[in-house]
Amino acid sequence: MGLQPLEFSDCYLDSPWFRERIRAHEAELERTNKFIKELIKDGKNLIAATKTLSAAQRKFAHSLRDFKFEFIGDAETDDERCIDASLREFSNFLKNLEEQREIMALSVTETLIKPLEKFRKEQLGAVKEEKKKFDKETERNYSLIDKHLNLSAKKKDSHLQEADIQVEQNRQHFYELSLEYVCKLQEIQERKKFEFVEPMLSFFQGMFTFYHQGHELAKDFNHYKMELQINIQNTRNRFEGTRSEVEELMNKIRQNPKDHKRASQFTAEGYLYVQEKRPPPFGSSWVKHYCMYRKAAKKFTMIPFEHRSGGKLGDGEVFFLKECIRRHTDSIDRRFCFDVEAADRPGISLTMQAFSEEERKQWLEVLGGKEALFPSFNRAIIPRPEGSAQLDKMGFTILRKCIRAVETRGINDQGLYRVVGVSSKVQRLLSMLMDVKTCNEVDLENSVDWEVKTITSALKQYLRSLPEPLMTYELHGDFIVPAKSGSPESRVNAIHFLVHKLPEKNKEMLDILVKHLTNVSNHSKQNLMTVANLGVVFGPTLMRPQEETVAAIMDLKFQNIVVEILIENHEKIFRTPPDATLPEPGPLSAPPNAPPRQSKRQGQRTKRPVAVYNLCLELEDGDRPSLPKEDTPPSSLDSLSSPSPTTATALGHPGPDRNHLLTDGGSFGDWAPTAALRDAGMNCDVGNLTLLCKLPHWPAMIPRMLAWDMGRLVRVKRPYSTRI
């Protein structure tokens, strides 16, 4: 089990368990910070002296092998598991390099040290500063509340009102800071996976470039590198989509926190100050407790907890409530007080103090006091507003009209379904399509009035407007489970079974849509919408949880995987019944191990030209189009929801459907890197002394490459790539 998600709604309760989860996230970040600091130190040792290079690399490899990423939620995607396993893979590569080392010319400073120092300073350092502000504001907030609650009720009303306003403003400021800190903690936990691994990947690529005798080992590394690129790109794409969803949820809760309270087993819960009476002449003291009440059983639980003393839980007390009575200020010199009496202690009452008059009224209502004016603490889940879109004959007509138009006019348009239309035009088209009077008059296939991006946006908007997502709330959790675990074959079987549990209309519409998306992905060389890109776009459209929480948003990446599986296995899932001999999908099982690295090849090495391996860094192309943002950028890399191709396939000669090298001189024969580039969808021109790559260590590499009489440099272009 990884780190538990930090819910924004918990910022307002600020419960002891919420603080425990925050400390777990902080401890993980501190562990990461220490590890990166140690890794930077190891990297500098590599530069310090060649004679100590071997020892430094062994230490470096040892550090990589022992570190493991923590993740938020209860499972990881295949991409994240591969990223997690990448550190152990890098460790193995280092050990192999020690056996073959002849020439070591490393540009570690630019490819590894500076990016890690930048990440540690700008990201982890920023979290440290946020933690200081959060701790300082916690101290200030609860100190001010203590001081405020000790105000005498006999003071002037104007003075008390002014104090109330000041405390409320301070509490709102504390909640704002708490929301931002929680968001930053979770963002850095997700960000570090690719922000840390990418510099590591650049380091390995640069090192292999300078290894002329290590060229054979670099060929082994190349296949793994290309797969890891896909893992990182997919993880980055999912991170961007998840981050926007998290920020949207945070803004919703910030605007109206009371409407987004989480469903709880308790009727009411929160902090109360409890009066502890002492024998004369010591008087009494007020101790802060976290209180929880179940109305059905009349069970009241209170646990002492003080934020400023390290957040340690005290011994709790449980009793069954007999009655609750409101206390007036003429009987006690404190505001917001009420008495509760336990059933097993008749005649003995406990005096409690709420944080405000509103909270006291809420407690009185829940506890059965006289003032029952406000709604209950434990709100039900707010249903999503239902649109006018329905799974009826009109809905199927809209779907088929849009699909026919897209396949007739725009199946090869770059960024299909990712590029959004103008909002006003989309709404106008959707209104006309959903109107019985005008639907038949709309000609999408032949009319130039409606752009393809307007049609695709209207189709997505229709699906999002359904009262219930196409894959239903009921089966949402069941679809997510197989995407989190099991082999590729078992995932397909489980989703195959679940699709046939959908209502007939849902399954019919899903069949039509997925068949269309399969056709779109078959034209990915032209429209650049691979299966992975379509999964990112349609995952949140076809699936969504009934309750919006951070934990649910963290499952967004698994929704994308489900859609990828549907597209890749459309014929099997929708055209054949599920295998009755297979067991029904069960609970989450142990995740599979990351794919193993290729074994070391045996035999005599052949002489080949030295390869430039720094192609996974972001490439520049001034001619590429600039498209508007939507969910995530399309990638030129394939989906990893199905098993990866074998090494022989990845490194073999291209077939007629592959992108070929355009050469103006020389021949690279069976040069593995160029074959791998063709598989990744990249076009290469050989013979130009230009490398359009963002390579920070590129100037240092040129004289060495010329000295090695490399003969040709490689000019690389990606067909299309946009980063949000």
3-state DSSP helix/strand/coil % of the chain, to nearest 5 = 50, 10, 40
Read off the pLDDT of residues 199-237 as tens digits, 9 standing for 90 and up.
888 887 777 776 566 777 777 778 888 888 888 888 888
Q: How confident is the model at residue 166 (pLDDT cuts 50, 70, 90)?
A: confident
Length of the chain equals 724
How many C-alpha atoms does 531 have within 13 Å on its Cβ side? 20
Picking from 176-190, 252-266, 507-521, which range would have the lowest pLDDT averaged per residue?
Answer: 252-266
Q: How confident is the model at residue 627 (pLDDT cuts 50, 70, 90)?
A: very low
DSSP state of 443: -
Q: Rounded distance, CA 470 to CA 472, Å?
A: 5
Average pLDDT over residues 524-538: 92
> Which three-class secondary structure state does DSSP give residue 190?
helix
Residue 223 is predicted with a pLDDT of 80
Omega of the bond prior to 281 within 30 degrees of 0, cis?
Answer: yes
Look at the pTM and tell me if it is higher than 0.95.
no
Q: Rounded distance, CA 589 to CA 242, Å?
A: 24
- Measure CA of the first residue to CA of the last residue in the chain; give whole Å: 31
Strands 662-663 and 284-294: unpaired
Q: Is the pLDDT of residue 289 over 50?
A: yes
Read off the pLDDT of residues 135-162 as tens digits, 9 standing for 90 and up.
888 888 888 888 888 888 888 888 888 8
> Which three-class secondary structure state does DSSP give residue 57?
helix
Read off the pLDDT of residues 596-607 as tens digits, 9 standing for 90 and up.
444 444 433 333
Q: Rounded distance, CA 568 to CA 163, Å?
A: 63
Q: Is the pLDDT of residue 624 over 50?
A: no
> Which three-class secondary structure state does DSSP give residue 630?
coil
| Amino acid symbol at 631 | D
> Taking the CB of residue 176, how many other CB atoms lie within 10 A of it?
13
Q: Rounded distance, CA 212 to CA 102, Å?
A: 9
Query: CB within 8 A of 6, min separation 6: which ones?
Result: 18, 21, 22, 25, 182, 185, 186, 550
How many C-alpha atoms does 176 have within 13 Å on its Cβ side? 7
Q: Rounded distance, CA 204 to CA 214, Å?
A: 12
Residue 452 is predicted with a pLDDT of 93
Question: Are 495 and 584 within 8 A, CB to CB?
Answer: no
Residue 278: what are its φ and ψ, rounded to 5°?
-125, 160
Average pLDDT over residues 476-480: 91
Output 524 or 550, whichever has higher pLDDT.
524
Q: Rounded distance, CA 521 to CA 405, Å?
A: 16
Question: Are 235 and 196 within 8 A, CB to CB?
Answer: no
Task: Tell me which long-range contacts 686-689 makes (C-beta under 8 A, separation of at least 24).
Answer: 686/661, 686/662, 686/712, 686/714, 686/715, 687/663, 687/712, 688/713, 688/715, 689/713
Q: How confident is the model at residue 538 (pLDDT cuts 50, 70, 90)?
A: very high
Question: Are 483 and 562 within 8 A, CB to CB?
Answer: yes
Which residue bears the tokens 């989509």? 241
Task: Round the average pLDDT of the chain to a whole number and report it.
Answer: 75
Q: Check the CA dihedral 474-476-481-482 and report its sign.
A: positive
Task: Tell me which long-range contacts 135-139 makes (C-beta under 8 A, separation of at least 24).
Answer: 137/173, 137/174, 137/177, 137/178, 138/174, 138/307, 138/308, 139/307, 139/308
- Decide: residue 280, CB within 10 A, 0-12 exposed, 13-18 middle, 19+ buried: exposed
Question: Are 13 and 73 within 8 A, CB to CB?
Answer: no
Q: Is the pLDDT of residue 405 over 50?
A: yes
Read off the pLDDT of residues 631-683 as tens digits, 9 standing for 90 and up.
444 443 444 344 333 333 333 443 434 333 333 333 333 333 333 333 433 33
Rg (CA), the chain: 31
How many C-alpha atoms does 387 have within 13 Å on its Cβ side? 16
Question: Are 225 and 204 within 8 A, CB to CB?
Answer: yes
Comparing CA positions, the residue from 496, 489, 418 lying closest to residue 460 is: 418
Q: Is the pLDDT of residue 629 over 90?
A: no
Residue 282 is predicted with a pLDDT of 63
Strands 662-663 and 683-686: parallel
Q: b/e string for 310-337 if b means 16 or more Cβ within 10 A? A: eeeeeeeeebebeebeebeeeeeebbbb
Residue 343: what are its φ and ψ, rounded to 5°?
-65, -30
What residues pair up with 72 in beta bridges, in sequence order? 3
Alpha carbon dihedral 329, 330, 332, 337, in 10-degree steps, equals -30
Q: Rounded distance, CA 467 to CA 525, Å?
A: 35
Q: How confident is the model at residue 564 (pLDDT cuts 50, 70, 90)?
A: very high
Percent of the chain with pLDDT over 70: 73
Which residue bears the tokens 């040290």? 113
Read off the pLDDT of residues 95-137 as tens digits, 9 standing for 90 and up.
777 766 655 655 677 778 888 888 888 888 888 888 888 888 8
DSSP state of 353: E
